[in-house]
Chains A and B, each alone.
Chain A
Amino acid sequence: MPEAIQDVLAGATQIALETTAFLFAEPGVQPTDDAAVAPPPFVSTVEFVGARSGALRVEFPARLLPVLAANVLGEDASPNDETQRDALGELANIICGNVLPAFDPGGKYSIGPPAVVNGAPAAFGAGAVCVASTELQVEGERVGASLWLRAPGSAETSA
């Protein structure tokens, strides 16, 4: 896995969390006692086409999603479910937009709308390869981000 892309992905995720939601992320994840019983995370996927095609996926803890949305909006009250999902979708969109130019400076891309699910998202097709991933700790919870590239001619994903 190219270390430079890994660093770009981690940096873009940290900056997006900090700038948009005032959430500060530390590299790595500390094991917690209740990790096994934590509710399934929300997963936001944005697909892109262009010089390369693929997707960027963000896994975000369910317990922290209301905090993300409230911080993004600057509100004290917890936003509704749709707004929470919208906030996570925007986070993935921002990370993707910041990672792609570093991965391929001259490449032109079109980034699709985010798809947010609670729990395991649909698997990528066999031709998709994870080229970078990162795990961060935010307020004691795990946030993951991964960049997937699809081999030319491979099947579309159904995330």
Chain B
Amino acid sequence: MSPSDLPPDVVTGTDGAAQRPLDFLIVDDSAVMRAVISKLVRMSGLPVGEIHHAADGAEALAVLESHSVDLATVDINMAGMSGDELVRRLRANPATAAQRVLIISSERREERTREIEASGGGFLQKPFDAETLRAAVLRVLEIPDA
């Protein structure tokens, strides 16, 4: 996946910053973590459009059937469909194969992180602040920071 895969208005600003609001899908089985990530997204200084929520992988797939988002943040350990399974299903479906994904987990595994990054995703270990989240989002979306 390259920057040319992204909608042009996301990356073509002369100052290098995102030019239109970014839409997010936050997938986490903890309502508190969904609220925290939403809060940090809004505190990050990124242009934010819609923020959708899903409590597990199945709910996330349902949201993505009807909404297009720039980035999905995905928890790994979830009851029901796990984050790993969700990413596998996204990649297997041509309609969602290019979906940008940021994995958020409390546990960091180097091997797993390399796999995620090789497939065009990103990894963020909890806990994190708004600045760290912003950097991770921009990295996954391949948008230079302003």
Question: Which A residues lie at the B interface, using CB under 8 A?
Answer: 15-16, 19-20, 69, 72-74, 83, 86-87, 89-90, 93-98, 100-101, 108-113
Contact = CB atoms under 8 A, between A and B. Distances in A.
Contact of A73 (B36, B109, B125, B128): B36
Contacts of A101: 107-109
A95 B128 CA distance: 12
Contacts of B33: 90
B107 A86 contact: no
DSSP class of A's interface residues: helix, strand, loop or mixed? helix
Interface residues on B, range: 20 to 34
Interface string B112-127: 0000000000000111
B106 A87 contact: no
Given A16-B127, A97-B126, A69 B32 contact: yes
Contact of B106 (A69, A96, A113): A96
DSSP class of B's interface residues: helix, strand, loop or mixed? loop
A155 B36 CA distance: 36
A110 to B, nearest CB: 7
A19 B129 contact: yes
B12 interface: no
Contacts of A97: 105-108, 125-126
A89 B109 CA distance: 21
A86 B128 contact: no
Contact of B128 (A19, A93, A108): A19
